[in-house]
Amino acid sequence: MHLAYLDTGAMYRAVTLYLLKNNIDYNDLDAVAAALQQVSIHFERIHGQNHTFLNDVDVETEIRSMHVSEHVSPVSAISMVRKAMVQQQKAFGKRRNIVADGRDIGTVVFPDADLKIFLVADADVRTSRRHLELASKGIDAEWDDIYKNLTERDQIDSSRADSPLRKADDATVLDNTLLSEEEQLAITLEWVRLVRSEE
């Protein structure tokens, strides 16, 4: 079975990038509402990697910058932004079989998903992984700044009123702190096989 990948976090990052590049104050809800009408997001596979396009421009590197990371949680907490993105995400899910990644995927976007995995890891390990990811994209960021950003985003996303970050009641927890990518994939594929065998 061919599965498409939906990176919902990238969508919120793309909206954040649009607001920042156009000097739109995200506390001005009327301005945000107008901006959302000008935002078009889609994904393409390039050399085996998922790339995010904002208004037909590849912004995959830009949206991973610390500047965007510092603003994405307050932007994604805006109810109208969440509603607009969730509507697009649900439409994407209706068109094809997907693997979706996001902080409200199992609770809000796809509450009836066949398999829900709540991924967790030690904060230091998450920071080191993000540091390596950014470095691979040519983005220079301090380890301490990344750690602070990750923990602050967790706090903001967990406490927001609209679609907070939380584990779905029927989600399976996967702690990948000590797992390699290959080990995580093997575990996930086994869970997928189990789900499909029960269908």
What does the pLDDT look like over 53-93, one tens digit per residue? Answer: 999 999 999 999 999 999 999 999 999 999 999 999 999 98
The arithmetic mean of pLDDT across residues 102-112, rounded, is 93
Measured CA to CA, the distance from residue 57 to residue 53 in angstroms comes to: 5
pLDDT(168) > 90:
yes
pLDDT(96) > 80:
no
If one counts the domains in the chain, the total is 1
The arithmetic mean of pLDDT across residues 47-58, rounded, is 93
Q: Which of 5-19, 75-89, 95-109 has the lowest mean pLDDT?
A: 95-109
Q: Please say whether the beta carbons of 147 and 124 come within 8 A.
A: yes
- As a whole-number percent, the residues of the chain with pLDDT over 90 amount to 81
pTM, to two decimals? 0.87
pLDDT(143) > 90:
yes
Domain that holds residue 60: 4-198
Average pLDDT score, the chain = 93
pLDDT(177) > 70:
yes
Q: What is the pLDDT of residues 21-33, one digit of tens each?
A: 999 999 999 999 9
What band does 49 get if pLDDT is binned at 50, 70 and 90?
Answer: confident
Q: What is the CATH number of the domain that holds 78?
A: 3.40.50.300
Of 120, 128, 121, 85, the residue nearest 105 (C-alpha): 85
Of 157, 140, 127, the residue nearest 67 (C-alpha): 140
pLDDT(1) > 80:
no
The arithmetic mean of pLDDT across residues 138-147, rounded, is 93
**Cα first-last separation, the chain:** 15
Element (H, E) at 109: none
C-alpha to C-alpha distances, 59 to 63, 116, 136, 187, nearest whole angstrom: 6, 28, 16, 32
